[in-house]
Amino acid sequence: MFLRGRVATHDGSPVPNDVLVERVCNNRLRQEVYASPHGDFSMPLGSRANSFPEASADPTSPFAVASKDSFMGISRHELTNCELRASASGFHSGVISLLDLDAFGGSVDVGVIVVQRGTKIEGMTLSATPYKAPKDARRAYEKGLQAERNGKLADARKYFETAVALYPSSANAWFRLGTVLQKENQKDAARQAYTQATTIDTRFLQPYLSLASMAYQTGNWAEVLNLTGHILDLDPLNHAAVTGYILDLDPLNYADAYFYNAVANYKLNQIEDAEKRGLQAEHLDLRNHFPQLHLLLAEIFARKNNYALAIAEMQTYLAVAPHAKDADQAREQLAKLEKLNGSVSTSEKPDQR
């Protein structure tokens, strides 16, 4: 069974590069596929059996890719709690509910997902520079994207190098070049490419996030704080209540930024900021991409003697990552927290004598 449709902009302008169509069920990301440069997409749901396994890709479409996270299949009735939306990098996305899906057809046309550029968003997850690039540079960039999707990193690197040579002002091309270089373990070159992208377009957030990730891996907490601070300064979550609005932008990237920022604040002994950013990351991390976030929050709550919340976070960590290398250590810590919480509860009981 395939869900087919297309992504279109509200004003008929070209569809953004790197559009992902996401299937979200019960507020959890279950699957994502790339749309073609024209906006068409095809999302496989597997057979029409009692449950739908997460399929790898539509073999007939070079733009369909496997879900970035592996999940078990979902039962047929759960499709009524699913919706499709587009992660269109700097755009607001419309939503298509699968409530009335005819699950007995081999191929279902779900229609059009309309995206609209957010006028209130200062930061972007896609730079506008590719649309200004010469035709040859755009063609090289698009070929680079295709090669990267197909795992041909050497070819992708050559195409992106051609793109930046033909149009050095393409922040996206520099960013994608940095991504490929990082995959090839050329870290210094990747860092230079990311930095070049940030120099060209300070509102293009992805290279800042990649640099923050590299700084996180090396424990450069001041640098992490500086880079993620730039992202969060341009994030509408800092300017509006958390109502789900931010999820129409790019929840994974913002979750990463908040997580890195929380850890950096904690390492720099800025506990209140670490707690604030950690809770915001937890709200956005639909994929449970960072199980260790729950350990961080558990440690913060324990330091504040809020053992009940610390216990809840530790239990969540063990549920999400039951076979982690430190799972036994986490269980021991959980037992200590439960003992401390029991002592607090006992001391707070009124004297019955």
Tens of pLDDT along 30-55?
A: 788 888 888 888 888 754 333 333 33
CA angle 283, 276, 287 (to 5 degrees): 25
Token pair belonging to 39: 């906006």
For the cut 90, the answer to whether the pLDDT of residue 220 exceeds it is yes
For the cut 80, the answer to whether the pLDDT of residue 235 exceeds it is no
Q: Which residue has the higher pLDDT, 146 or 127?
A: 146
Contacts of 249 (CB under 8 A, 6+ apart): 90, 92, 118, 121, 125, 236
pLDDT at site 278 = 94
Residue 245 DSSP class: G
CB 66 within 8 A of CB 43: no
Q: What Å distances lie between residue 299 and 192, 280, 291, 306, 321, CA to CA?
A: 36, 16, 13, 10, 17
Cα-flanking dihedrals φ and ψ of residue 204, to 5°? -85, 110
Mean pLDDT value across residues 194-200: 95
Contacts of 56 (CB under 8 A, 6+ apart): 44, 66
Mean pLDDT value across residues 174-195: 96
Contacts of 138 (CB under 8 A, 6+ apart): 130, 163
Q: Confidence class of residue 261 from pLDDT cuts 50, 70 and 90?
A: very high
In angstroms, the CA 8 to CA 93 distance is 10
Answer yes or no: CATH 1.25.40.10 is held by domain 129-204: yes
Smallest Cα–Cα separation from 171: which of 207, 120, 220?
207
In angstroms, the CA 262 to CA 245 distance is 21
Look up tokens 């793109």; give the residue: 163
Residue boundaries of the structural domains of the chain: 2-117, 129-204, 224-290, 293-353
In angstroms, the CA 211 to CA 209 distance is 5
In angstroms, the CA 312 to CA 35 distance is 39
User: What is 2-117's CATH number, 2.60.40, 1.10.3470, 2.120.10, 3.30.450?
Assistant: 2.60.40
> Using one digit for the tens of pLDDT, what is the confidence trace for 305-346?
999 999 999 999 999 899 999 999 999 999 999 999 887 655
- Alpha carbons within 13 angstroms on the beta-carbon side of residue 242 total 10
In angstroms, the CA 134 to CA 304 distance is 57
Look up tokens 């298509």; give the residue: 96
Q: DSSP readout, 101-139?
A: --TTSSEEEEEEEEEEE-TT--SBSS-SGGGGS-HHHHH
Mean pLDDT of the chain: 78
Buried residues in 75-105 as b, exposed as e (16+ CB within 10 A): eeeebeebebbbbbbbbbbbebebeebeeee
Identify the three-state secondary structure at position 57. coil
Dihedral over alpha carbons 142, 144, 148, 149 (to 10 degrees): 20
CB 84 within 8 A of CB 45: no
Same fold, 2-117 and 129-204: no
